A and B are shown apart, each in its own frame.
Chain A
Amino acid sequence: MSLLEVEHVSSFYGDFQALYDVSLAVDAGETLAIIGANGAGKSTLLNVISGLFPNRGGAIRFEGRLIDRLPAHLRVEAGISLVPEGRRVFPSLTVRENLLIGAYRRRTGRWDVPAVLELFPLLAARSERRAAVLSGGEQQALAIGRALMANPRLLLLDEVSLGLAPVIVSQLYAAIPQIAAAGTTVLLVEQNIEQALAASKRVCCLLEGRIALSGRPADLSRDAIVTAYFGI
């Protein structure tokens, strides 16, 4: 049994269909990357898994349990945490307060404030600053740290690299193996193909709301990926 099973899920924005009959399984302990162009439905898929958007049709199972009707805040309690696109840290709260509120559902595990500050040393010096004054990279680290504070079994990362300098991106991606080593399964969404292939054990490519390709990075040819990515 996989940790997360997405079966024949569709999703809509009003009349626009963003996901068509998507099926996907994530095993405990693996790091899976979802790649795809703008508007391919990557973020929608994460939002459906985290419960922010409803799925229409199909089923979503987590640890074997059907969670389709579970509201977003209870999915956090169940062990699914999303680092949303655009980071969305709480600007008026300090770094420390952002982390503390991440532990709202009181799940226990490896991650607490000292552990997160050790993972992201750039946050440690700024722990009493308000999140609003942080740089983009620091906010992204904080958003990941905040999600880790919930001690999730499944961590969903949406476009970690968006708008950040390459040196910061590699610092953030360096944390992923440590997160996985602590027992958290990682499902990440990425436009940057190189980054995604390097960070994951398996990739899925979404094209216009459908899964166009999936497999281990080593088994996929460059041409196949480009075709699945752009649809040409």
Chain B
Amino acid sequence: MEWVNAVVQGVLLGALYALLATGLSLVFGVMRMVNLAHGDLATLAAYLALVVVQATGVNPFLALPVVVPLMMVLGYLLQRLLLNRSIDHGPLSPLLITFGLSVIIQNVLLDVFSADSRGLDAGTLENESIHLTDQLAVGVFPLLTFVVAVVVLGGLGLILARTQLGRALRATSDDHTAARLVGIDHRHLYAVALAIALGTVAIAGIFLGIRTTFGPSDGPTRLISAFEAVIIGGLGSLWGTLIGGIVLGVAQALGNQVSPSFQLLAGHLVFLAILMFRPHGLFAPASARQT
């Protein structure tokens, strides 16, 4: 029963990783750009929520309607004013710029909020749980995280599949010059993509902040988890990202069951195994596998 419990908790934790990875997956899919500041932006969102909570005393969930739009605006401006300038100069420039951004965000957070670990307090919800059987219980908050992750990924999937914005994002990903020829302003579209990505990052950052404590230099660790979820699931597949997150979460939970010190290592080992035996991930679209 302990093992079943570990798998269930792992699935729920994995959804959080998937939520964190969504934006990374989208940005890479549309712009072929790896955003090394991704994890730090999630941490930034958690701190912004902390500011809102401290200023108003509201529940951190109520900070979402403030922080999510704020991060989306930040994403749009970041792409439009900074990253678009570098994106035509090959993959290295955006990599260096986002790396620099990562360092800057960490140091600004350190300067403003000190090195102390902080947390977002969602009240009694954090400790409530539902008993499925005598021995198996799931926490209400992890369950809520799972539902939110599925809704966000599913919603984004629907936007990509069904709307003109989604078609425009996929078309630009295919061929950005041809996209200009149908009237798409690819620079605007890139900015919209980063705005959407940072919207999902904001949600992930706040849920992470409620689940665990966070500090100014946590970003890179978050980035690694997100990366692993994206790669395990397969680049360019949103549902693959959800499965990737869950595989990572379950691997960590099972590793933890063996020995608590084995938790993170188990996740990394599964990631390594996937890289060795299925380098395109579990659910890469056929088009990605050909290249």
Contacts and interface: CB of A to CB of B under 8 A. Distances in A.
Interface of A: 50-52, 71-74, 76-77, 81-82, 84, 88-93, 97-98, 100-102, 104-105, 132, 146-147, 149-150
A105 B167 CA distance: 13
A90 B175 CA distance: 7
A151 to B, nearest CB: 11
B114 interface: no
A72 B181 contact: yes
18 contacts: A51-B180, A72-B180, A73-B185, A73-B186, A76-B183, A88-B181, A90-B174, A90-B179, A91-B174, A91-B287, A92-B173, A92-B287, A93-B167, A97-B170, A101-B168, A101-B171, A104-B168, A105-B182
B157 interface: no
B164 A82 contact: no
B212 interface: no
Contact of A146 (B174, B177, B182): B182
Interface string B187-214: 0000000000000000000000000000
8 nearest A-B pairs in the assembled complex, by CB-CB distance = A76-B183, A105-B183, A88-B178, A90-B174, A72-B180, A90-B171, A104-B183, A73-B185
Nearest to A100: B167
Given A92-B174, A100-B167, A146-B182, 9 more contacts: A88-B175, A90-B179, A91-B287, A92-B285, A93-B170, A93-B174, A101-B168, A102-B182, A147-B181
A50 B181 contact: yes
Nearest to A146: B182
A80 to B, nearest CB: 10
A50 B175 CA distance: 16
A147 B179 CA distance: 11
Contacts of B173: 92
B181 A84 contact: yes
B74 interface: no
B184 interface: yes
- Highest count of chain A CB atoms <10 Å: which of B168, B174, B178, B183: B183
A168 B98 CA distance: 49
A98 B171 CA distance: 8
Interface of B: 164, 167-168, 170-171, 173-175, 177-186, 285, 287
Contacts of B182: 76, 81, 101-102, 104-105, 146-147, 149-150
B238 to A, nearest CB: 14
A183 to B, nearest CB: 19
Most B CB contacts (10 A, CB to CB) among A89, A92, A98, A149 go to: A92
A93 B181 contact: no
Contacts of B164: 100-101, 104
Contact of A73 (B171, B174, B175, B180): B180
Nearest to A97: B167
A89 B175 CA distance: 8
Contacts of A97: 167, 170
B169 to A, nearest CB: 10
A146 to B, nearest CB: 6
A51 B182 CA distance: 12
Contacts of B175: 88, 90-91
A40 B185 CA distance: 30
Contacts of B183: 73-74, 76-77, 104-105, 150
A144 B182 CA distance: 11
Given A73-B183, A101-B182, A52 B177 contact: yes
A1 B268 CA distance: 68
Contacts of B285: 92
A132 B186 CA distance: 22
A84 B178 contact: yes
Contacts of A150: 182-183
A164 to B, nearest CB: 19
A76 B170 CA distance: 19
A101 B167 contact: yes
A92 B170 contact: yes
Nearest to A72: B180
Nearest to B172: A90
A97 B168 CA distance: 10
Contacts of B174: 90-93
